[in-house]
Structure 1
Amino acid sequence: MTTALALPGLTTGTWVIDPVHSTVGFSVRHLMVSKVRGTFDDFSGVITVPDAGEPSVEASIAVASIDTRNADRDAHIASADFFDAEQYPTARFASTGLRAAGTNLVLEGDFTLHGVTRPIALTLDFHGVNPGVGQGEVAGFETTAVINRKDFGISIDMPLEGGGAVVGDKVTLTLEIEAVRQS
């Protein structure tokens, strides 16, 4: 698969994630009956498209920048009970490959959270490239992935009296990314 086939219009150069026009979000089961949703407000990333070969992605998230619209909950999630943001302030993603899977693209990489690195695969929805409005070309992507928090050493158990747990193990990550071509 060539870059031109995989990502039409994504030209050679460095594309920087625009945090003003991007969202890094998540949802997790709460009390077995609903979901808590949140975002991370401090994140960055770079997509590098070489002359030959496949694009690569490196991104980071400041885990203490969590926002679930509840300051007490955010502080608890940033604490040693969950993220331990003091010891592990940053989650990171570094791509290891891009492949076709039917009509989809899959970006594979290593995701590090809470000091634990695991491979993950992100099925990409590439929205294309636009000339932009004065800042240069922009490219858009969306992806959703499900991870198990316990796979990353976030193993707090908060059981409910009637069974189940306050917080689910599966976390759905949702990324809506707009990247601006720098060079």
Structure 2
Amino acid sequence: MGLFGGKKDNGGATATATAELPAVEGWQAGTWTIDATHSEVSFTVRHMAVSKVRGRFGEVSGEIVTSDDLGTSSVTAEIDVTSVTTFNEARDGHLKTGDFFEIETHPKATFRSTGIRHDGDDYVIDGELTLKGVTRPVTLVTEVSGLGPDAYGGTRVGFSAKGSINRREFGLSFDARLDNGGLVVADKVDLQLDVEAVLSA
């Protein structure tokens, strides 16, 4: 199941996104506020070509505006880059410098969707990520992980999304090399978003 529950019709062809919206039980159009306490933006990058370092941003906010017309739905989010953690104090301090995020000048990153499309069994969110003052396109393959009532009389939706960026395109230009010429920190960064949002009254 992808974002909004897309699936194949009986003929094997991909059904239209709008027609598939009701496939998510309890689906509602409206404005959903991201619940920062239950949401996470994380990343993975290869280190010295032999292992991976994982990190996350502890603060994220934003909203999802859904409608019966999938094409007019949208996502906006703001990430507090100063909240980055890889659970290593020295490494986190380095990430906050000009080699990477330069948080004193660029404490926030933002994402704004530009479109939502159906790609096979998946829904894909196209958007623009602004990081360290640089805006570049980014694509997120997305699926709904759940939708329904919460314990407080409201309605919640959860979704997961994956994508990747080239850190150098955003000015994260740290370039330490191994003796064989390989990168200490790879250029490709994999992104993982797990977001929970609450439907506004």
- Regarding TM over 0.5, the answer is yes
User: In structure 2, the residue corresponding to 1:100 is in which secondary structure?
Assistant: strand
User: In structure 1, the residue corresponding to 2:176 is in which secondary structure?
Assistant: coil
- Residue 134 of structure 1, CA deviation: 1.2
Amino acid across the alignment from 1:178: E
CA contact (8 A) 1:3 1:55 kept: no
Percent identical:
46
User: In structure 2, the residue corresponding to 1:94 is in which secondary structure?
Assistant: strand
User: In structure 2, the residue corresponding to 1:79 is in which secondary structure?
Assistant: coil
Correspondence for 1:87:
105
| 1:108 is aligned to 2:108 | no
Runs of at least 5 residues in structure 1 that lack an aligned partner in the other structure: none
Correspondence for 2:20:
5
- Residue 37 of structure 1, CA deviation: 0.3
Runs of at least 5 residues in structure 2 that lack an aligned partner in the other structure: 1-15
Correspondence for 1:25:
42
In the TM superposition, what whole-angstrom CA distance separates every residue of 1:81-108 from its partner, at most 9, and x where no partner exists?
1111111111110001111011110011
CA contact (8 A) 1:61 1:90 kept: yes
CA contact (8 A) 2:132 2:170 kept: yes
Correspondence for 1:49:
66
Correspondence for 1:62:
80
Within-5 A mapping of 1:102-181 = 102-134=120-152, 136-181=154-199
- Residue 5 of structure 1, CA deviation: 2.0
- Counterpart CA distance in 1 for 2:131 and 2:140 is 16
Q: Which 10-residue stretch deviates more, 68-77 or 44-53? A: 44-53
Number of residue pairs aligned between Structure 1 and Structure 2: 183
Instruction: Report the TM-score when normalising by structure 1.
Output: 0.93
Amino acid across the alignment from 2:148: N
CA contact (8 A) 2:122 2:142 kept: yes
CA contact (8 A) 1:10 1:128 kept: no
- Root-mean-square deviation over aligned CA pairs: 1.6
- Counterpart CA distance in 2 for 1:38 and 1:6 is 33
In the TM superposition, what whole-angstrom CA distance separates every residue of 1:57-100 from its partner, at most 9, and x where no partner exists?
00011111101001111111011111111111111100011110
Correspondence for 2:5:
none
Amino acid across the alignment from 1:77: L
- Counterpart CA distance in 2 for 1:182 and 1:17 is 10
- Counterpart CA distance in 1 for 2:161 and 2:126 is 12
